[in-house]
Amino acid sequence: MLTEGKEKRPVVVVGAGAWGTALSIALARAGSEVLLLPRFAAEAESLKGLRENVHWLPGIPLPREISVGSSFEELCTEELPSASAIFWVVPVQFSVESAQILAPVLPKECPILLCSKGFLCGASTPQDLFLSEALKDLFPRRTIGVLSGPNFAREVAEGKPAMAAMALPKQHFCEVARLLQTPKFRLFETEDTVSLQIAGALKNVLAIACGLVTGLGWGQNARAALLTLGFRELVSLGCALGGCLETLIGVGGLGDVQLTCLSDQSRNTRLGIRLGQGERLAGILKENSGVAEGVPTAKPVYVMARSLKVSTPLFDALYRVLYEGESPQVALERAWCDAT
């Protein structure tokens, strides 16, 4: 059972996918007691019975400091009497619906850290892109921050060295950082929630572009060049949306972009490789159980770039490939010429 008290209030992790489970393990390793909340009843039953996330992180047991709660639909207030912080790890496209379900029962006197990456689809204004803005309406008077960085879930769960940026007001940073930080998991302080969300969303689109380059057989020179051009577009969009250059080139910006775009472990990179090799998008998405966040993100990025009058040849090319059926070869050749 989780103990209650000022110094040992549990940390609540909302969402039990790969990253939610890995964060729970990292929090437990740092000395926190954790309540992990799966979205679905079947997930909760499996995690409680096996003490392992056999689907996303097989072979890594849950530490005893982690308790598994009920699914979102079955959760009741009695399970959550208090908390020191809430780490929100529900995929962005399901977050608003999940927040509507959980708002009445989640603890009210603690900060919420957004750990999911992506933009909200259907945004009509730049502010509508950000999950932080949507959750402010559902969790009024809450402090909402962002945790983001170059972190593959399995490596964090295994305790390998990693870093991340955490955006919170200064009065909350130290209190939350002590729940997670260890000598091998270091946190950089910022208050720039906008830049972390921008980089965390756009890097998935850039990863698809890098995958396309690989799938087309263009080579490493072209991959590095297009990644550089794409990051320049990311910075331009980020600054136009209110982000800060210092954050965008930091561990939660450029660091996250490099990890996702330069590793074939990324779902978005692998999707791009398969598209570049001639597979159809619909078939790839139907086959994959994980979420390739770059696909839904590409559309609002395209719309907002037009609205903000920011030149984004590479992001435009990805939109045409994903939503207009343009040939990856034709789209990237056009972006290659337009970006220089």
Where in the sequence numbering do the catalytic residues fall?
A: 203
Helix (H, G, I), strand (E, B) or coil at 76: coil
C-alpha distance from residue 176 to each of 30, 46, 192, 279 (Å): 12, 29, 16, 44
Distance CA 49, CA 44 (A): 8
Residues β-bridged to residue 13:
36, 87
Helix, strand, coil percentages in the chain from 3-state DSSP, rounded to 5: 55, 10, 35
CA atoms of 271 and 288, how far apart (whole Å): 9
- The secondary structure of residue 51, as a DSSP letter, is S
Query: What are the residue ranges of helices labelled H in the chain?
Result: 18-29, 41-50, 92-102, 131-138, 153-157, 170-180, 193-216, 220-240, 245-248, 256-262, 267-276, 281-287, 294-308, 313-323, 328-338
Provide the residue type at 118 as one letter. Answer: G
* Pairing label, strands 85-88, 66-68: unpaired
Nearest CA among 113, 116, 92, 135 for reference residue 179: 113
